[in-house]
C-alpha cells in the first residue's frame, strides 16, 4: 500500500511539473531595430521560398494545412517552427503592426484511403499589417491529440513586436510567411529559436 501511495504521489508531482513547465511565460528581451522575431519557441524544420498563390504545409506524417501566400506577396518565405511539449507554448507577434485579419479553421478528416488528404489540422491565421513590410502571416497549427488553439488578439488591434498573441495546447507548429523581397533572411534549418527574441529576418 505504501509503495502504491508513493507511486501515485510521484505521478501527481510529474503531472504538476509538466503543467507548470507547459504554462510558463518567461520574459523575453525584445530586439530593437527593423527586424522580424520568431513567433514561437522551438526548432525551425522548414524554410521554403515560394511563388505559388497557395501552398500545402505538412504537419507530422499525415497532417497538413493549406494556406494562401498571395495575400502576403507574390514571392514569400515560408518558415515552419516545430514546438515540442517541452517548449514554451506562448505565441508572439513577430513585428509591430495592426491585426488585419484572423481566420480560424477546424481540423478535418477525409477518406482513410486518401492518405494525402487524410488529415487537415486545425489552424488559426493572423495577418499583421506593418507600414515597412506591408504584411506578414502567422499560422498557429494544432495537432490532432490536443486540438486547442488560443488566440488573444482581435481584428484591428495594434500589436507590438514580441507581444503575446496566443498559445497552442500541447505542442504543435507555427508557420511564419514573409514577403521575400522585403526581408533579408537570417533564420536557418534546425535552428533553435525563442519567441519574441530570436531574429528571423531583417527588413531590407
Which residues are catalytically annotated? 172
Q: Which of 180, 175, 190 is nearest to 38 (CA)?
A: 175
Q: Which of 22, 21, 39, 42 is nearest to 30 (CA)?
A: 39
* Coil vs helix vs strand at 194: coil
Q: What separation in angstroms does the CA of 33 have from each of 38, 161, 202?
A: 14, 10, 9
Specify whether the backbone of 75 is left (phi greater than 0), alpha (psi in -120 to 50) or beta: beta
Q: With contact defined as beta carbons under 8 Å apart, do 200 and 36 qualify?
A: yes
How far is residue 160's CA from residue 140's CA, in Å, rounded to a whole number?
18
How far is residue 69's CA from residue 47's CA, in Å, rounded to a whole number?
14
What stretch of H or E contains 16? helix 2-22
Amino acid at each position: 500500500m505504501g509503495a502504491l501511495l508513493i507511486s501515485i504521489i510521484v505521478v501527481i508531482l510529474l503531472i504538476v511539473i509538466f503543467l507548470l513547465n507547459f504554462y510558463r511565460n518567461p520574459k523575453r528581451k525584445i530586439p530593437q531595430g527593423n527586424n522580424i522575431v520568431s513567433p514561437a519557441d522551438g526548432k525551425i524544420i522548414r524554410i521554403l521560398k515560394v511563388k505559388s498563390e497557395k501552398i500545402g504545409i505538412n504537419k507530422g506524417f499525415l497532417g497538413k494545412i493549406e494556406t494562401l501566400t498571395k495575400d502576403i506577396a507574390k514571392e514569400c518565405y515560408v518558415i515552419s517552427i516545430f514546438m515540442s511539449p517541452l517548449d514554451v507554448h506562448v505565441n508572439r507577434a513577430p513585428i509591430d503592426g495592426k491585426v488585419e485579419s484572423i481566420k480560424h479553421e477546424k481540423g478535418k478528416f477525409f477518406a482513410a484511403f486518401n492518405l494525402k488528404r487524410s488529415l487537415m489540422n486545425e489552424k488559426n491565421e493572423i495577418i499583421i499589417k506593418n507600414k515597412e513590410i506591408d504584411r506578414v502571416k502567422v499560422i498557429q497549427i494544432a495537432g490532432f491529440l490536443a486540438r486547442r488553439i488560443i488566440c488573444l488578439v482581435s481584428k484591428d488591434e495594434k500589436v507590438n513586436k514580441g507581444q503575446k498573441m496566443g498559445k497552442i495546447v500541447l505542442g504543435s507548429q507555427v508557420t511564419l510567411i514573409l514577403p521575400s523581397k522585403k526581408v533579408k533572411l537570417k533564420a536557418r534549418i534546425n535552428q533553435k529559436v525563442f519567441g519574441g527574441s530570436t531574429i528571423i529576418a531583417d527588413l531590407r
